[in-house]
Structure 1
Amino acid sequence: MAPPASIVFPTRNRRDYLAVALGSVAPQAAARGAEIVVVEDDAEDAPTRALVEAHGGRYVALGTPRGINVARNACVVHSTGDLVCFLDDDVEVWPGWLDALLAGGDHEALGGPIRPRIDANLHACGREPLPVTALDLGGEDREADFVWGANMALRRSALERIGPFDERLGGAGDEEDWQRRLRAAGGSVGYVARAGVDHRRVGPDARLRALSRANFYRGRAARRYDAYKGAEPSLAAELRTLAGCAVHVVRFRCGVGVTLTALTLGRIVEALDPAPAPPSATDPDYLSGRSGTLGRRTALIGALKDARAAVRLPRRAPRGARRRVHVVGVARPENLRTVARLRRELGRSHHDVALHFGPPAPGAGKWTNINAALADAPIGDADWLLLVDDDVILPRGFLDRFLTLAEGYGFELAQPAHAFASHAAWDITRRRPGVLARRTRFVEIGPVTALSARAARELLPFPDLRMGWGLDARWSAIAAERGWPIGIVDATPVRHLKPVATAYPRDEAIAEAEAFLDGRAYVARAEAGETLAEYRRWPT
């Protein structure tokens, strides 16, 4: 028989906080026959497991950090109670908390007061809330718009009806999104005045600097969620709020005002340099779900980030063995100037480079044209085949560095990373400062893709496709089946000058991909975003 309630904690490396939370919950759970489940959003920690089991709970570790909503969904999967009571690991429940929730009426989502408790001398003028999640809707039970994840109970039947938490969200809106879906489906949210918790900050976490840092990142997440909903304020409005916060700090000498200033600053930073939006839920899973297109402002920010990242790269690179490199591309008339730059850069290499950029045949797609070019100029005994788009800018010294790293780390399929100032649909392909190369599960089919002689033998001839969407997902799956290491070379970031799908209809590209992948294995979006290893030293 299922217990009346499951008390569940998503956590990550906060054993001291969790000890207090479990100590307050365990007696109430034992009295009502409820179960306790703790999900570690990271690798297993033996002392945390021992702590949980000492309080009669079950401990589950996800292995790697995957996000708050992934951990919440795991809490649901690994629990059995009719009422799933979510608590943050830094709370301490009030006496009678569980009894009050179990008697909370017919609402499908329930929550109670969240009282901030900061164990430090933080000067507050009393005009602004403390910088910790809080909720106070009064001393009487009532219907609520939302309750918060620090103290939130959901009926299992509602979870089954509404579905899991959206795992793309985290840091802001993660629990709100689920409740919006519940209300849209006719469900209700209830506030239970006696089911309260204290939301704690102690030790270094209670100091002004730590609270401000946390609020800065909370501000970024809040702005990101506003953008996700399409409700983000203008930058001018954010700047006015920042000015008001600064005046508040000076006028009232208010420590809380400092944390609010940090939060607003986080929102402004996010507006100027936004993190990638969550992938589109409507895009097929062999696509990134993002446009990756830069505007003027984001291109300028990207150029500044590229300049900063370039300082962190090792200047001296070992020269690899001399290789035979076969370069194939399609040169459209409008891009002949860019192709001339490509020829000059590739010609500077110490490798033996054979360049084959030909005009496209009328009405033929990219891969038909590439196959035709390879028929006219076979790869022969070349060590590497490079497929290069005609709208890409290569960095100086590209090929020597690129092949040294690709061969040094044993990649059979490889691509250069995209610069920050480059259009790029996949987050995984964006350069990482201080990293020379990464082993991944996914390599794109453009704008530059390198195939070793071994890979080329198995993948040639290429499918007779026009746009080729989904081909990279298929190649990556073949690499996994063959055990080929594949990866991204960050030390040679390239700039893709045009956004994806500007030269052909997007709907046609998706339809072609659907037909091509039907019945074939491919690497889906979730796997494609994984980095298996990072390399920060030149191979020897």
Structure 2
Amino acid sequence: MPVSTRSDPEVQKTAELSILIVSWNCKRMLADCLDSLRDQLSSYRHEIIVVDNASSDGTSEMIRRNYPDVVFIESGANLGFARGNNLALAVTHGKYIFLINPDVVVVSDCFRNMLQYLEEHREVGMMGPQIVGSDGAIQRSCMREPTLWNQLCRALALDRFATRSRTFAGYLMGDFQHDAIREVEILNGCFWLVRREALQQVGPLDDRFWMYGEDLDWCRRFRAAGWKIVFFPEAQTVHYGGGSSKQASLFCYVQMQRADLQYWRKYHGLLSCWCYWALLWFANAWRAGVVAILYFARRSRNCETRLRLKRHLACVRHLYINKYSSDSQ
């Protein structure tokens, strides 16, 4: 049963902004994230809500000792991304809600610029900033709706050979430079700003998605409800990446395939689901074959190649066992 440590309830009730962070075994990154929020939030009435998914690295002690103003919820189990965020969403008060990954550091004026834009554009229900890596390179933070065509291009690796083509690399928006304000179909979930009116209409994340897939689903529901989703490069955050998923990369890779199928089953018919399952199975099977040849021919025998082989074989096995029609929750 979740256990909550609350800050001043009167401060919460008058909060303009609610910041939600779900964490699992990434204490150091979480501390960096929380520290980066202090200057950003000093001029706003706000609440910060951290949900800890049963970390074993001392996260709870660190939060209680160093961040007493944070609303801290201990879930008691690893609930995944969607359920963890939904725990926090249920107790928010802010007019605007930020869902931020713990491996993100917020850069100066990020909140101010995004909030100003949202105030001036009432039709926007969700926004995301420009994401840069620790090396300063711009990271992809938005996608287009998955289709059988763009998933076929992914399966055949055509998007890697025609990286700037909308026709072949359209799913991951290889043709988009991520440097202009633009309405997009999907924002990846490392940093979301959501308007409360939109949240009340759309509802919380679908917690049947344990990890991955919830971004595709939530964005689709926002668009279906008539809200615009905007990529906003005039605000910026640094994403160090993999705060939790790096610790269980093989498991997370399989979960990604599972979530893709789960999303497809939610919105598509039986024939389309079968085709999509076949694309996923084929993509992992032929990649496993290529990596195995490289590995056993000693052309690329290293830890990374071995991990790639394990990932693809695990996905082939998972997809074969569960088939396209199994929910496999």
Q: Where on the TM-score scale, by shorter chain, does this alignment land: which range?
A: 0.5 to 0.7
Using the TM superposition, give the Cα deviation of residue 109 of structure 1 relative to its aligned residue in structure 2, in angstroms. 0.9
Are residues 1:220 and 2:254 paired?
Answer: yes
CA change 1:256–1:189 in 2 (3 A) is farther
Q: How does 1:272-311 map to 2 (within 5 A)?
A: 272-274=320-322, 277=327
Distance 2:231 2:256 in 1: 23
1:142 corresponds to = 182
CA change 1:238–1:65 in 2 (3 A) is closer
Is the 1:90–1:199 contact (alpha carbons within 8 Å) kept by the matching residues of 2? yes
2:9 corresponds to = none
AA matched with 2:41: A
Distance 2:228 2:294 in 1: 37
Distance 2:98 2:45 in 1: 14
2:63 corresponds to = 48
CA change 1:194–1:270 in 2 (3 A) is farther
Q: How does 1:337-352 map to 2 (within 5 A)?
A: none
Are residues 1:176 and 2:188 paired?
Answer: no
AA matched with 1:45: S
Using the TM superposition, give the Cα deviation of residue 28 of structure 1 relative to its aligned residue in structure 2, in angstroms. 0.3
The number of equivalent residue pairs is 260
Gaps of 5+ in 2: 1-12, 136-159, 164-171, 265-272
Q: 1:37 aligns with which of 49, 52, 56?
A: 49
CA change 1:186–1:36 in 2 (3 A) is same
2:82 corresponds to = 69
1:469 corresponds to = none
| TM-score normalised according to structure 1 size | 0.42
AA matched with 2:235: A
Distance 2:109 2:217 in 1: 29
1:377-430 CA distance string (max 9 Å, x none): xxxxxxxxxxxxxxxxxxxxxxxxxxxxxxxxxxxxxxxxxxxxxxxxxxxxxx
Q: 2:127 aligns with which of 105, 110, 116?
A: 110
Using the TM superposition, give the Cα deviation of residue 241 of structure 1 relative to its aligned residue in structure 2, in angstroms. 3.1
AA matched with 1:59: F
Is the 1:112–1:147 contact (alpha carbons within 8 Å) kept by the matching residues of 2? no
2:191 corresponds to = 151
Using the TM superposition, give the Cα deviation of residue 259 of structure 1 relative to its aligned residue in structure 2, in angstroms. 6.0
Are residues 1:14 and 2:29 paired?
Answer: no
Using the TM superposition, give the Cα deviation of residue 248 of structure 1 relative to its aligned residue in structure 2, in angstroms. 8.2
What is the DSSP-based 3-state SS (H/G/I as helix, E as strand, rest coil) of the residue aligned with 2:37?
A: helix
Is the 2:257–2:280 contact (alpha carbons within 8 Å) kept by the matching residues of 1? no
CA change 1:183–1:261 in 2 (3 A) is farther
CA change 1:168–1:174 in 2 (3 A) is same
Distance 2:179 2:308 in 1: 27
AA matched with 2:60: D
Query: In terms of Rg, which structure is larger?
Result: 1
1:18-44 CA distance string (max 9 Å, x none): 100001112101133332111222389
CA change 1:69–1:195 in 2 (3 A) is same
CA change 1:85–1:254 in 2 (3 A) is farther
1:313 corresponds to = none
Distance 1:58 1:2 in 2: 14
1:107-130 CA distance string (max 9 Å, x none): 101112233338xxxxxxxx799x
1:270 corresponds to = 318
Name the % identity: 21
Distance 1:104 1:262 in 2: 45
Q: 2:282 aligns with which of 219, 230, 236?
A: 236
What is the DSSP-based 3-state SS (H/G/I as helix, E as strand, rest coil) of the residue aligned with 1:78?
A: coil
Distance 1:244 1:113 in 2: 35
Are residues 1:197 and 2:245 paired?
Answer: no
Is the 2:14–2:45 contact (alpha carbons within 8 Å) kept by the matching residues of 1? no
| TM-score normalised according to structure 2 size | 0.67
Are residues 1:96 and 2:96 paired?
Answer: no
Distance 1:67 1:271 in 2: 21
CA change 1:243–1:188 in 2 (3 A) is farther
CA change 1:200–1:248 in 2 (3 A) is farther
What is the DSSP-based 3-state SS (H/G/I as helix, E as strand, rest coil) of the residue aligned with 1:170?
A: coil
Distance 1:178 1:278 in 2: 21
Is the 1:242–1:265 contact (alpha carbons within 8 Å) kept by the matching residues of 2? yes
CA change 1:100–1:277 in 2 (3 A) is same
Distance 2:293 2:233 in 1: 35
Distance 2:293 2:112 in 1: 45
AA matched with 1:218: C
Distance 1:168 1:226 in 2: 12
Is the 2:322–2:328 contact (alpha carbons within 8 Å) kept by the matching residues of 1? no
Using the TM superposition, give the Cα deviation of residue 224 of structure 1 relative to its aligned residue in structure 2, in angstroms. 1.0
AA matched with 1:277: D
Gaps of 5+ in 1: 119-126, 280-540
Using the TM superposition, give the Cα deviation of residue 268 of structure 1 relative to its aligned residue in structure 2, in angstroms. 1.6
Distance 2:114 2:299 in 1: 42
Distance 1:169 1:272 in 2: 20
What is the DSSP-based 3-state SS (H/G/I as helix, E as strand, rest coil) of the residue aligned with 1:37?
A: strand
CA change 1:248–1:95 in 2 (3 A) is farther
Distance 1:183 1:170 in 2: 22
Using the TM superposition, give the Cα deviation of residue 251 of structure 1 relative to its aligned residue in structure 2, in angstroms. 7.4
Is the 2:17–2:47 contact (alpha carbons within 8 Å) kept by the matching residues of 1? yes
Distance 2:16 2:301 in 1: 49
Is the 2:80–2:210 contact (alpha carbons within 8 Å) kept by the matching residues of 1? yes
- CA-based RMSD of the aligned residues comes to 3.6
What is the DSSP-based 3-state SS (H/G/I as helix, E as strand, rest coil) of the residue aligned with 1:168?
A: coil
Using the TM superposition, give the Cα deviation of residue 13 of structure 1 relative to its aligned residue in structure 2, in angstroms. 3.4
What is the DSSP-based 3-state SS (H/G/I as helix, E as strand, rest coil) of the residue aligned with 1:18?
A: helix
1:41-79 CA distance string (max 9 Å, x none): 2389233233332xx422122233322211111211222
CA change 1:2–1:266 in 2 (3 A) is farther
